[in-house]
């Protein structure tokens, strides 16, 4: 499965949308690296970038929520924390079991579905609020 960015995913906040696009691009790189059965080192390099970029992106969103006193900040942040823990668990599995095509598929599907749901729900609400305050 390859994740396609389109206008239905635009929150209307340029910085957030650009970061979301990068997340999708990197997720797709991970999918392709696995499908092409590249070596483990390359797969872990893409995974490390995806993990680090996700943390940076969450900080961008959280900083916006704090700046504009978003009432659902703590709930939204808790979703980010839960997701980071989930990704940490996936990373451990990939290290312990090796990045097989099947396991990478499980990971990328879970990450991709979470991103889609989070963007279309929580991020749309947060971005609409932020835009109303800017």
Structure confidence at residue 37 (pLDDT): 85
Q: What is the pLDDT of residue 69?
A: 96
For the chain, which residues make up each domain, given as ranges?
10-133
Measured CA distances, 27 to 24, 67, 71, 73, 105 (Å): 5, 29, 30, 26, 11
Alpha carbon 9 to its chain's center? 13
Tens digit of pLDDT at every position of the chain (134 positions): 589 899 999 999 999 999 999 999 999 999 999 988 888 998 999 999 989 999 999 999 999 999 999 999 999 999 999 999 999 999 999 999 999 999 999 999 999 999 999 999 999 999 999 999 98
Q: How many CA atoms lie within 13 A of 112 on its CB side?
A: 19
Give the per-residue pLDDT at 1.
Answer: 59
Degrees, nearest 5: CA angle 129-130-132: 65
Exposed/middle/buried for 78, CB within 10 Å: 0-12, 13-18, 19+? Answer: exposed
The pLDDT value given to residue 13: 93
Superfamily of domain 10-133: Hemerythrin-like (1.20.120.50)
Q: Which residue shows structure tokens 């059965």?
A: 37
User: Can you give the pLDDT at residue 2?
Assistant: 87
Quickly count helices (H) and strands (E) in the chain: 5, 0
Q: What does DSSP assign to residue 12?
A: S
């Amino acid at each position: 499965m390859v994740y396609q960015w389109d206008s239905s995913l635009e929150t209307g906040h340029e910085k957030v949308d650009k970061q979301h696009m990068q997340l999708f691009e990197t997720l797709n790189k991970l999918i392709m690296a696995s499908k092409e059965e590249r070596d483990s080192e390359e797969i872990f390099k893409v995974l490390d970038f995806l993990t680090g970029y996700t943390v940076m992106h969450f900080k961008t969103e959280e900083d916006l929520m704090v700046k504009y006193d978003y009432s659902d900040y703590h709930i939204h942040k808790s979703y980010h924390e839960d997701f980071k823990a989930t990704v940490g668990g996936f990373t451990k599995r990939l290290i312990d079991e090796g990045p097989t095509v099947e396991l990478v598929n499980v990971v990328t599907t879970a990450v991709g579905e979470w991103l889609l749901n989070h963007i279309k729900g929580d991020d749309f609400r947060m971005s609409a609020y932020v835009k109303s305050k800017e």
